[in-house]
Structure 1
Amino acid sequence: MKKYLQLYEKIKDDIKSGVYKSNTKLPSKRIMADLSGVSLTTVEMAYGMLSEEGYLYSVEKKGYFVSNISEIGSFTPFVSNAKINLLPLPKSDFKQTDFEYSIWFKTIRKVLNDNGNLLFKKSPPKGCEVLRNAISEYLLRYRKMLVQPANIVIGSGAEQLYALAILLLGKDKKYGIENPCYSKIPAVYKGMGAVTVPLKMGKDGILSGELNRKNFDILHVTPFNSFPSGITTSLTKRLKYLSRMSGGENYIIEDDYASEFFLKGHPIETLYSLSENDSVLYINTFSKSLSDSMRIGYMLIPDRLSEKYDRMTANASCTVPVLDQYILADFISSGNFERHLARKRRQMFRR
């Protein structure tokens, strides 16, 4: 521990234990330095910290005095032999083939060198422009999806984006969800106070009889490799989804967590791309495509909801750290993300 911190702690303990009474004058800085065997600068730093925290007050040309202890508050004696039960740290069990560590670390260094004070600016509510631009260009290249950056919202993973979608569409709405589905989906809706309507799944998606029920306003679906059923919705059924939810204030929330890992041909066409009436909110994350620790996702919102979203989040800030957004943006724009996906798909195909 630094000497000024040691002196600070000692004087603070002496004040708490009553060695120095309220309104008692402390030794001058020079005398305290001699008594403690430290430099004058060390004493000045310790006295300054104690003054800032309210333990001391200074009187010009007279010195430092102990504050009124009753005004500071009661103290709980510090137990010097107290033991902290530290949590065990995980051991790295990643294989070198799981992720291109060296490329990621190079990207971090590049971002730190290139962006300077931009990394310390507050993120806009929808996320940093650099990441939204990168995702927009990636979706056009890799998924043939034309999405304007202004319609992209960055969030801290799927669960937060689900919650944002509920706030945007309304807690008073009834949300039709696949049955079975990812357990976090109904949990988030319940936590947000929204009602869910489970809809039974068939071999190619939600059963038509369930889909035609009139007791839900919003449809939340995972068209590709729905978890835990593994069902991929047919094109015919996807078009039925869009037809069922067309018109009025009906919307579809498309959860597309795994579509980058199609095995043959091209990824299935998204509901967002197929929609002709601007009625789909599209959600995807980088947790599966990059790493479970990558708590970054994005939501594509329809044009007709963009202004409402801007009003709703006018005083908010994106929850994803700016540095993380810049790193991911560079990783995508450089082509490293698509090369990573291609490599992962080759590994999956060999299995």
Structure 2
Amino acid sequence: MLTYNLEQRNDEPKYYYIYKMIRRDIERGKLKKGEKLPSKRSLAEHLGISLITVENAYQMLKDEGYIEPRERSGYYVCEIHVIGEMKEQNQQLHMLPEIPEEIEDGRLQNAALSSFPYSLYFKTVRSVITEYGEELLYRSPNEGCAILRNSIASYLLRYRGLFAQPEQIIIGSGAEHLYGTVVRILGADKIYGIEDPSYHQIRKVYEGTGAVCEMLPMGEDGIRSDVLAQTRADVLHVTPFHSFPSGVTATIGKRYEYLEWAREKHHFIVEDDFDSEFFMPGKPVETLFMLDDSSSVIYINTFSKSLSPSIRMGYMILPERLMERYKKTSGGFSCTVPVLEQYALAEFINKGYFEQHLSRVRRKQNHKMEV
């Protein structure tokens, strides 16, 4: 007769404890193939429990293939092929600390986080929930919600002088997600030229998608001209404004050199513009995308630096000639940013809060430089 100590079951239901003990004995070979189990009634009387408790345990064992019923005979152990030695599982949970740790990422260190208008942003979130309600539960379009793509297009033209149609703007969960999208569009069979030194995640993402990377040494104004002339790269990934970690900003001459390289060789440039919202007083630095007249530049930016690292939202602007290729290679992938967050950010931008925040951060940075 099977003997189990029900006092050892802790908070488990009795039927589950009995199921678990019989299963353990079968897996360890204590109960062998073809061996008959006690009848449900006799086991219930032996353990001092209800018949239905044993019935539930036997039913689970039967459903999982540990035992089989035989008509007018009872329940018998099935043959189980256990791989390796069965070990007792330690089911004590080791809970993670719930106080968030600051993840070191030099590229995202800035004054924006300390100046972030929490109350205003969360007020915007509440306003969006009230206004749009059930609409926020719908699935996001693959390229991102139109309301946010429209907002970004208007903001870029107004604040940066960068013109792009909303349909060219693709929303994604941060720059790294968008790097992967670039590879799907342009192909993993291409060689991706990357600034050396550069943000470590760029190379990691490209190589993680199967692409080959070529590291291109930097000079004082960007990638060295002799290196650019000899590279085997098909795609150039550059950060013309404040490249990390070198801090190099490409001169206007170097920017045109990049564009000429792409035009002559019929190649593409990925412009990683993560820090350009914080340009110094005066006219914003012209991006490669703004200077490009051959539709060779894919522009990527993110709100992780300008707002907060927790806002995992970025956007990519595709040249018009890549739109059809995007639809074929990546258009079927779902947008990874929740609709609520897209609507909230759109409202934050539309009401002018984002630009006000950027102006506060820039004034703060300028004051530090003057002191």
TM-score range relative to shorter protein: 0.7 to 0.9
Aligned partner of 1:199 in structure 2 is 216
Structure 2 counterpart of 1:146, from 163, 184, 200:
163
Residues 217-248 of structure 1: CA deviation (Å, up to 9, x unaligned)? 11110000000110111111101110111156
Q: How big is each residue's C-alpha offset from its partner over 1:292-347, in whole Å with a ceiling of 9 and x where there is no partner?
A: 11111001001011011112234321011111111111111111111110011111
Say yes or no: does 1:348 pair with 2:365: yes
Structure 1 length-normalised TM: 0.79
Q: Displacement of 1:129 after TM fit?
A: 1.1
Structure 2 unaligned regions, length at least 5: 1-10, 23-36, 42-48, 68-85, 103-110
Residue identity matched to 1:69: L
Cα shift readout 1:141-191 (whole Å, capped 9, x = no counterpart): 111111111101111111111111111111111111111111111111211
Cα distance change on mapping 1:336 and 1:85 into 2, 3 Å? same
Q: Highest CA radius of gyration, 1 or 2? A: 2
After the TM superposition, which residues 229-308 of structure 1 pair with which residues of structure 2 at under 5 Å, given as runs?
229-247=246-264, 249-308=266-325
Of residues 187, 190, 197 in structure 2, which corresponds to 1:173? Answer: 190
CA distances 1:233-265 after superposition (whole Å, capped 9, x unpaired): 111110111011115641100000000011221
Question: Residues 92, 66 of structure 1: CA spacing in aligned structure 2 closer, same or farther, 3 A cutoff?
Answer: closer
Task: Quote the residue 2:95 is aligned against.
Answer: 86
Q: How many residues align?
A: 310
Give SS of 1:117's match.
helix
Q: In structure 1, how many angstroms separate the alpha carbons of the residues matched to 2:172 and 2:14?
A: 46
Distance verdict in 2 for CA 1:196–1:97, change over 3 Å: closer
Q: Distance in 1 between matches of 2:217 and 2:21?
A: 68
| Map of 2:74 onto structure 1 | none
The question of whether the paired residues in 1 share the 8 Å contact of 2:196 and 2:216 is answered with yes
Q: Is this contact kept in 2: 1:23–1:67, CA < 8 A?
A: no
Structure 1 vs Structure 2: percent identity of aligned residues?
A: 46
Q: Does 1:72 align with 2:64?
A: yes
Which stretch has the larger CA shift, 257-266 or 314-323? 314-323
**Aligned partners of 1:10, 1:95: CA distance in 2, in Å?**
56
User: How far apart, in 1, do the equivalents of 2:326 and 2:270 lie?
Assistant: 15
Normalised by the length of structure 2, the TM-score is 0.75
Letter in 1 for 2:169: I
Query: Does the alignment pair 1:121 with 2:138?
Result: yes
Q: CA deviation at 1:77?
A: 12
Which residue, 351, 359, 365 being the options, matches 1:334? 351
SS of 1:145 mapped into structure 2: coil
1:182 equivalent in alignment to 2:199? yes
Deviation for aligned residue 1:11 = 4.9
Q: Which runs of 5+ in 1 are unaligned?
A: 1-6, 26-34, 37-46, 57-64
The residue that corresponds to 1:39 in the other structure is none
Equivalent AA in structure 2 for residue 278 of structure 1 = S
